[in-house]
Amino acid sequence: MSDHLTLLATDGSKRVRLMQAARAQLRLPPAQVLEWRDWLRQPSLLDTALTQPGLFKIEPPGDDPAAHRHLLHDGCRLLGRPPVRDPEHGELLLMDAWFAGFAAAMERLASQLTTLPHTRVFNAPADIILMTDKLTCQRHLATHGVPVPGLLGPVHGYEHLQALLSEHQLDRVYLKPRYGSSASGVVAYRRNRAGRQQATSSASLQRVDGETRLFNLKRISRYESESEIATLVDTLARQQLYAETWLAKPRTGDSHYDLRVITIGGQPAHRVARIGAQMMTNLHLDNQRGNAASLLNPADMAALESAATLAASAFPHSTVAGLDLVVRHGQAHVLEANAFGDLLPGLLWQGDDTYTAQLRHHHA
């Protein structure tokens, strides 16, 4: 096995710094970094970067605003849409067009890799596309026997949401952007028979130059007026939105939690509880890390490991996956699979952080 590693990434990003630190710890030479923005402009750079046999890891393009813009504009062109303005920092703008550009880039990448058989890829482009399309991914997991929340399918707008709730006799659901990540645009929605309703989200509605825009913030917004909730849902639905049944999360003290599990080589490794008082427990929203082993009884831990192993087997061409799970009463449900879910600085499993553990797996 060659010691050579190439990253398609954003040089200087936290992910690259952590990988380089892991390489140094294992006395491996530094990884070569091919910038997303450079590869998008000049795909042949990949062939040059991978002339030497070795490993190749694809990191997310979102660390580089220029790469994000490139993919967004490519997607608009592919979908036959007019050119779009550049999104502002944190703005949720045409996530479906961004995904079209991203999926096309991943398909080009996969085609290039077929000519480089001496390169071992951490996560195959096809698996990355699948895990980035959240609705298709959940359906894929379900067909592999992985327990997931009940899927209500696409939501085309606020009125359609109300019809779906009535059809399924539900008063609370989670609404999720089909191509979102890190809870961006996720809405916890509930209503009661008296007509009151509430939507909780990290998406913030803002009026800018007479236009309604959505921004992903680190603080949670709560909406209770029908007009604001309708605007929120309609704006997200235009970028593709789906609904799933509301799973109650287990509690610890006066907070609740879910779990992030990193699988490496198909096996559950790092795991952490994400504890918070809000509906969304993602760690970047200033929620707290917790020790999963201290919160789960043996039956819960067995359910977590079984579900994580089964979910990882649905992505046989991926070394690493980040899985979000709710585990209660000896049952586990997978909320999401994330091809880029390994950014958990300082979280150790058998003494290794997530990047060191991946390198050990490939150099075993």
Length of the chain, please?
364
Burial class for 116, CB neighbours closer than 10 Å (0-12, 13-18, 19+): middle
- Strands 331-338 and 320-328 turn out to be antiparallel
Residues contacting residue 17 through CB under 8 Å, at least 6 positions apart? none
Specify the pLDDT at position 364.
79
Specify the pLDDT at position 285.
52
Specify the pLDDT at position 282.
56
Of 28, 84, 279, 242, which Cα lies nearest the Cα of 156?
Answer: 242
Q: Specify the residue for token string 């089909």.
A: 178
pLDDT (tens, 9 = 90+) of the chain, 364 residues, equals 578 999 999 999 999 999 999 999 999 999 999 999 999 999 999 999 999 999 999 999 988 999 999 999 999 999 999 999 999 988 999 999 999 999 999 999 999 999 998 999 999 999 999 999 999 999 999 999 999 999 999 999 999 999 999 999 999 999 999 998 777 889 999 999 888 999 999 899 998 888 889 998 878 899 999 999 999 999 999 999 999 999 999 998 889 999 999 999 999 999 999 998 776 655 555 568 899 999 999 999 999 999 999 999 999 999 999 999 999 999 999 999 999 999 999 999 999 999 999 999 999 7
**Spatial distance between the Cα atoms of 161 and 41, rounded to a whole number of angstroms:** 41
Rounded to two decimals, the pTM is 0.95
CA distances from 262 to 46, 293, 320, 357 (A): 28, 15, 7, 10
